[in-house]
Structure 1
């Protein structure tokens, strides 16, 4: 089934409005960067007054958390946000040097490392496999994953997506193979609009698109519980990780993000309200999205690396990744010490 812009343009416009101004810019391939305040200060031996960090984001989720918890107020360095609708364009920007820090799920980080082995995993975010799943319209005749044989499944957002990993895992669980379905890759905002218009029958996607679609009536065939690790990661570009001034700023940002996650866990209702306001997501969807978000964060450690290596090996075995990734080689466990 071919899908063109003309098939769902009105729905696409509604989707762009739904996800707010920043994701709209990302949907059209533009880098959405907003200046933030900074103060001149020093931290121990590193002078950070001249540092500017570009903080990558997906669908405004990290920014909403930060602004809800107000943890970046008064930073001793400048920062600005760069928002994208999915991991693929986010990592393309990081690879080009336009983004310093990028948050993403486990498999997108590995896929990014295929094209950019200089990136460094610097932090781990603990979430849930319930953040993603395979969706069908409310009145679809499809009732289980086994019913997908011969169907076309649209995946957000590109090869190496957490949704691709989840789909293949669900197919195996149901006694099918990836060759039993036709797979298409579509960026999330476009897929959201196409699904809403009825142009997509089966959609494998992730929050916030997943949560909002379910709130609007989509039915879940299978979520990622027991298939996906539920871990997310924050990566630093190779250049940022190698710059001593930026390293010091990155350590500070990551500690502030930890505090933001702790605040959100302690204030779930307030966080959901602010998330809904900042991202323009419906409140009921926002409550579900924030309740299963990757909020607990820590600097990457050996246990995280071991878990991600299992994902990497599985993805390579299933031909999702073109080569095996050595997770230890792309991880920076000495960030705090350095």
Structure 2
């Protein structure tokens, strides 16, 4: 048997609860971890925000954007995008951030959701990884190979799009639907030939004995979304809080680009990631994001994802993505096609 590099397993892995916004799957919410920001008493409005470990709450706090709120935030921590959007549909969460694919699956399930905010960043963190000693050198060589990916994740679409670009279809490979912890174990033991995944997993595994076969750059749209409950948007006070929250997220994302090392230290502490991995992920993808409008180009790009999954019968029926978009918070934001930020060699 061909020898595989042995990657360090769960002792040095990203904690299982760290399944960032790109993730899909059926992971449940962590309802035991909530906190509040804003006035201690007398707050007339409470914004229920869905988050993921090391996500928006940590970012806003590090950037000083949780100060001087005139509403209260109640945080609920989830392990991935799909259960967060289930909570939005159930009105348990007013707003939360996810990647580019979970809203498509939620829309296909006819969930009550409204996409209200967007960011655009580099897709270099979206990658199909192989062991360093793998003979595979291009996506076209994946024919007949076994590939791990999380169902409904942005990596799932990136895998399909990369295969198509190489003249292949999902039926030409052996797709194994696994959440990241199980996928890494399979990758580590040689049970799969490749792994389609996202940052910070990409950055961690690249430091542990893997290489990029192909990335999502130029293949996927690099979008992430803030998704709200229509009932919250229909409430005037909550809608005002949502608008303020989105502005704070924009300022916090700008702060990350200006302070990548400081954010990497915070992110490392919050998630258990080694600092070097956190900093790699910030430079490669998470720190490159620009807040953009949910415009026609973004809707068309998401419609392409929906049509692809419908064509493959991975979602039931046709999805009209624009029906799940609310553009009232676009303000004077730049278009969704605005280039991602990039870091210089000295960053």
What TM-score comes out, normalization by structure 1 length?
A: 0.83
* 1:326 CA displacement: 1.9
Paired residues of 1:117 and 1:330 also in contact (CA < 8 A) = no
Question: CA separation in 2, counterparts of 1:89 and 1:133?
Answer: 24
Structure 1 residues 71 and 116, CA gap change in structure 2 (3 angstroms): farther
Question: CA separation in 2, counterparts of 1:23 and 1:177?
Answer: 27
Task: Indicate the SS of the match to 2:101.
Answer: helix
Q: Across the two proteins, how many residue pairs are aligned to each other?
A: 318
Q: What are the superposed Cα offsets for residues 81-117 of structure 1, whole Å, 9 maximum, x if unpaired?
A: 2233322222233223332212122222111111134
- Matched with 1:212 is 204
Q: What are the superposed Cα offsets for residues 62-84 of structure 1, whole Å, 9 maximum, x if unpaired?
A: 33322221212232222132233
- Matched with 1:50 is 44
Structure 1 residues 51 and 198, CA gap change in structure 2 (3 angstroms): farther
- Matched with 1:6 is none
- Matched with 2:15 is 19
More helix per residue: 1
Question: CA separation in 1, counterparts of 2:11 and 2:231?
Answer: 37
1:96 aligns with 2:90: yes
Structure 1 residues 22 and 245, CA gap change in structure 2 (3 angstroms): farther
Structure 1 residues 336 and 124, CA gap change in structure 2 (3 angstroms): closer
Paired residues of 2:294 and 2:330 also in contact (CA < 8 A) = no
What TM-score comes out, normalization by structure 2 length?
A: 0.81
Structure 1 residues 51 and 285, CA gap change in structure 2 (3 angstroms): same
* 1:130 CA displacement: 0.9
1:230 aligns with 2:211: no
- Matched with 2:235 is 243
* 1:198 CA displacement: 4.6
Q: Give the unaligned 5+ runs of structure 2.
A: 1-7, 21-25, 332-347
* 1:193 CA displacement: 4.3
Map 1:181-192; keep pairs closer than 5 Å.
Answer: 181-192=173-184
Question: CA separation in 1, counterparts of 2:322 and 2:17?
Answer: 38
48-57 or 176-185, larger mean C-alpha shift: 48-57
Q: Give the unaligned 5+ runs of structure 1.
A: 1-9, 42-47
* 1:139 CA displacement: 2.5
140-149 or 228-237, larger mean C-alpha shift: 140-149
- Matched with 1:252 is 244
Structure 1 residues 58 and 204, CA gap change in structure 2 (3 angstroms): farther
165-174 or 273-282, larger mean C-alpha shift: 273-282
